[in-house]
Structure 1
Amino acid sequence: MSSKEIADLVDKRHDSVKRTIDALTDKGLVTITQSVEPTPGGGKPLTVYHVNQRDSYVVVAQLSPEFTARLVDRWQQQEREAAMPAPAPALDLTSVDSLRMLAGTLA
């Protein structure tokens, strides 16, 4: 999860979230990776931190304990979406080849 996503989730400024993450990193409590993303309008590129699931809980608990439930919900939503099976391709029942393939699976 990115520091931008966390900022949006807890209604905090991104720079404030990054300061909190920096402090937690300095204490050895979380580990981050960084990326640089372009800003809309071509301004100065934005440094964004990325944390894993465990560390995102630590960051959000530090920033705003009342939003920890939102974070749990967000991770659970992502896990559900990732676990959803891909939809089966639709068969054209007007196609002879599709009907033969379907008949072959039933035989």
Structure 2
Amino acid sequence: MEKVPSLSGVQKMSSREIAELTGKRHDHVMRDIRIMLVDLYGPGRVPSFGDTHRNEQNGQAYTIFLLPKRESLILVSGYSIVMRARIIDRWQELEASFCRAVRRVGCWRGSPSDSQNGLLQHCARASELR
């Protein structure tokens, strides 16, 4: 389920992928996400992380969530250690893929800005941790 990393946006993990990695039913993961978002942000103040997944076999559209790293880690912190480990390992894969894409594209010419330097330093630290 490897996705091309986005150089312009925030990396996200789908509720379908979380369900697959944790072995939980997708409807249970969706329920857990809804409860978590209300607990975190309050009723009526929940940010929109919703999206739609289209089933390739029958063309039906299903609601999913696309969670940034923070929210996906908060969600699975209530799951078992093995489930948490799978999600953390997947985030490390996503970040490594992003860093490879940054290096491959050779995004910046000339003097990089502070944010670009920060991104390059993050990629270097991520490489050292593996």
Is TM > 0.5 for Structure 1 vs Structure 2?
A: yes
How many residue pairs are counted as aligned between the two chains?
A: 88
Between the two structures, name the one with larger relative contact order (CA 8 Å, sep ≥ 6): 2
Q: What is the 5 A alignment of 1:9-88?
A: 9-28=21-40, 31-42=47-58, 44-84=60-100, 85-86=103-104
The structure 1 segments of at least 4 consecutive aligned residues displaced by more than 4 Å after TM superposition are 29-32
Q: Percent identity?
A: 32
Do 1:9 and 1:70's aligned partners in 2 also have CA atoms closer than 8 Å? yes
What's the TM-score once normalised by structure 2's chain length?
0.59
The answer on 1:8 being equivalent to 2:20 is: yes
TM-score by length of 1: 0.70
Superposition RMSD on alpha carbons, in Å?
Answer: 2.2
**What is the CA–CA distance in structure 1 between the aligned matches of 2:88 and 2:50, rounded to whole Å?**
23
Encode CA deviations 1:64-94: one digit per residue, 9 max, x unaligned.
Answer: 3431111111111111111122189xxxxxx
CA contact (8 A) 1:3 1:49 kept: yes
Structure with greater Cα Rg: 1
